[in-house]
A and B are shown apart, each in its own frame.
Chain A
């Protein structure tokens, strides 16, 4: 298990303060974060730009030393035993970095494999199995500069798995990818956690992806954790608003009043349409069963019923709105 306690990171930046004068300023990028990642679990790390996500990941994977706090990876201290921890973790970033473009896919993996102490037959078998896992066996001898964006990203996944890490950090892994490629990549990530029992920390600006993949989510703001729960509970806590749209025959004034009375804590709008009436309902709970019950009782036939559950995206937007208010 990865366990971070009281994690802080302060940067010192220089600012111009007149001609040939500079002032040093301390900026808290991460301010006392506690988090855990278990094997086989996908954990999301969300926040607006500059919230401290990338700095947190860089500290967890030993690239940056924390200013304060501790990080333990399966009992090893990430600062004192950094070399041992490096063997247990790996990172995959979005975009087209972290690969040598003039080398082929297989050569890239061979290079990184050797940096992790692999060699000989074991390395060659690993390369061939990873390339087949990410579907790049046929282009293993093609230079990376000729790969498409999606192929480069898949090769990055193979590179991230070359040392068979117990924990994987994914920083915007689907950034700029086509929908089918991103979907395939999400499947791979799911398999890594559920079948290979790897602990995964994911940051992404695509919140549907986080909702689909993550068991738990940490939301950070200005270097501090403001919420931590399952995506569903976070959404319910923050947004707490369901939208239901119902199409019926034209309703009489009496029927409209019965419906309004049956849903006292909800906002209802009755909109006329060419075929009848459209009910737009906003409720702090899922009101579908009550609506159906009233309609059955009043013998109102429902032509169409659409429920829009609150999404994680709504929660993040609500949080951002709250902070800027």
Chain B
């Protein structure tokens, strides 16, 4: 698994250096910044800095700006990771390299992990840029336990990786990236608690958020970042994310492998 991992990492790094995907990079940063700016303007100029008690009890905090900024930050983070991994095979198909890849006896896990690890370099830059923007709009960066935040992010990355495998399967099935990915991203922005708590949604809609790792990742990140809670207190949330990952992984791995065969038959047969 190591060789396909390092090969894919190196290949994508070289491609990124020669043709950096500026449109995706700036697009993800801007979507995170838009969420922050929109929340800032509406909070101060529409709602005059007032929050009702229902928000405070549902969100578990009265710091609305930090709540939304972290929402925008983690949303962009998840969307970038999902896009990087899920588009891997369909990009090979479009560039005409899928056959050469599938001809080799290499581990597909190593391939996807290499994709994700290299993509994380770009995602890390986006994360840093949105965090910096958030700082100017009220995100506090003092007295933060960065280790706890990194632990939450690692658990979320693992679950997002497994979710990306399922998204990739749908992309291959529909032979489309744009509509498929954006349908999921719009749904995530609605049900995962990016700018408002999912409790504000009708119960049946809020339930969809329960199967998204991002919902629980956001709750966990806000607890450790805004409220400074220890990991022991966010452990049940981390467990939920891990369970989702454990459920998604075999489904994603089996489905994407099956879909690769179907694509080969339909496309090249």
B10 in the interface (beta carbon within 8 A): yes
B202 in the interface (beta carbon within 8 A): no
Q: Which residues of A contact B261 (CB under 8 A)?
A: 64-65
Q: Are A112 and B268 in contact (CB under 8 A)?
A: no
Q: Which residues of A contact B19 (CB under 8 A)?
A: 102
A29-B6 contact in complex given A112-B104, A115-B106, C-beta closer than 8 Å: no
Q: Which chain A residue lies CB-closest to B92?
A: A100
Rounded to whole Å, the gap between the CB of A153 and the closest CB of chain B is: 14
- Cβ contact of B269, chosen from A55, A101, A117, A163, cutoff 8 A: A55
A83-B105 contact in complex given A63-B268, A97-B99, A112-B100, C-beta closer than 8 Å: yes
Q: Are A100 and B3 in contact (CB under 8 A)?
A: no
Q: Select the residue from B103, B105, B261 with max chain A CB neighbours within 10 A.
A: B103
Chain A contributes a number of interface residues (CB within 8 A of B) equal to 40
Q: Which residues of B contact A9 (CB under 8 A)?
A: 269
Rounded to whole Å, the gap between the CB of A26 and the closest CB of chain B is: 13
Stretch binding the partner chain, chosen from A36-44, A86-94, A288-296? A86-94
Q: Which residues of A contact B106 (CB under 8 A)?
A: 114-117
* Docked CA distance A84–B104 (Å): 10
Rounded to whole Å, the gap between the CB of A126 and the closest CB of chain B is: 14
- Cβ contact of B11, chosen from A58, A103, A116, cutoff 8 A: A103
Q: Which residues of A contact B96 (CB under 8 A)?
A: 95-98
A115-B264 contact in complex given A61-B103, A100-B15, C-beta closer than 8 Å: no
Q: Which residues of A contact B141 (CB under 8 A)?
A: none
B18 in the interface (beta carbon within 8 A): yes
Q: Which residues of A contact B97 (CB under 8 A)?
A: 97-100
Q: Are B269 and A58 in contact (CB under 8 A)?
A: yes
Q: Which chain B residue lies CB-closest to A65?
A: B261
- Would you list which residues of chain A between 84 and 143 have a CB under 8 Å from chain B? 84, 86-87, 89-91, 93, 95-103, 107, 110-112, 114-117, 119, 143
A204 in the interface (beta carbon within 8 A): no
Q: Are B104 and A115 in contact (CB under 8 A)?
A: yes
Say whether chain B's binding surface is mostly helix, strand, loop, or mixed: helix
A115-B101 contact in complex given A58-B264, A63-B264, C-beta closer than 8 Å: yes
A54 in the interface (beta carbon within 8 A): yes
B102 in the interface (beta carbon within 8 A): yes
Q: Are A86 and B104 in contact (CB under 8 A)?
A: yes
Q: Which chain A residue lies CB-closest to B101?
A: A115
* Docked CA distance A28–B105 (Å): 28
Q: Are B102 and A114 in contact (CB under 8 A)?
A: no
* Docked CA distance A115–B14 (Å): 17
Q: Are A11 and B269 in contact (CB under 8 A)?
A: yes
A311 in the interface (beta carbon within 8 A): no
Rounded to whole Å, the gap between the CB of B122 and the closest CB of chain A is: 16
* Docked CA distance A96–B96 (Å): 8
Q: Which chain B residue lies CB-closest to A54?
A: B268
Q: Which residues of A contact B100 (CB under 8 A)?
A: 97-99, 112, 159
Q: Which residues of B contact A87 (CB under 8 A)?
A: 105
* Docked CA distance A95–B99 (Å): 13
Q: Are B105 and A84 in contact (CB under 8 A)?
A: yes
Q: Which chain A residue lies CB-closest to B5?
A: A114
* Docked CA distance A110–B4 (Å): 11
* Docked CA distance A146–B18 (Å): 13
Q: Which chain A residue lies CB-closest to B18?
A: A102
Q: Are B3 and A114 in contact (CB under 8 A)?
A: yes
Given A83-B105, A114-B4, 16 further pairs, Cβ under 8 A? A29-B269, A55-B269, A58-B264, A63-B264, A84-B105, A86-B105, A95-B96, A96-B96, A99-B97, A99-B100, A102-B14, A111-B10, A111-B11, A115-B3, A116-B104, A119-B3
Residues of B within 8 A of A (CB): 3-4, 6-8, 10-11, 14-15, 18-19, 95-97, 99-106, 261, 264-265, 268-269
Residues of A within 8 A of B (CB): 9, 11, 29, 54-55, 58, 61-65, 83-84, 86-87, 89-91, 93, 95-103, 107, 110-112, 114-117, 119, 143, 159, 163
Q: Which 6 A-B pairs have the closest CB atoms?
A: A97-B96, A114-B7, A115-B104, A86-B105, A115-B106, A98-B100
A-B contact pairs, 5 of them (CB 8 A): A91-B103, A98-B96, A102-B15, A115-B7, A163-B104
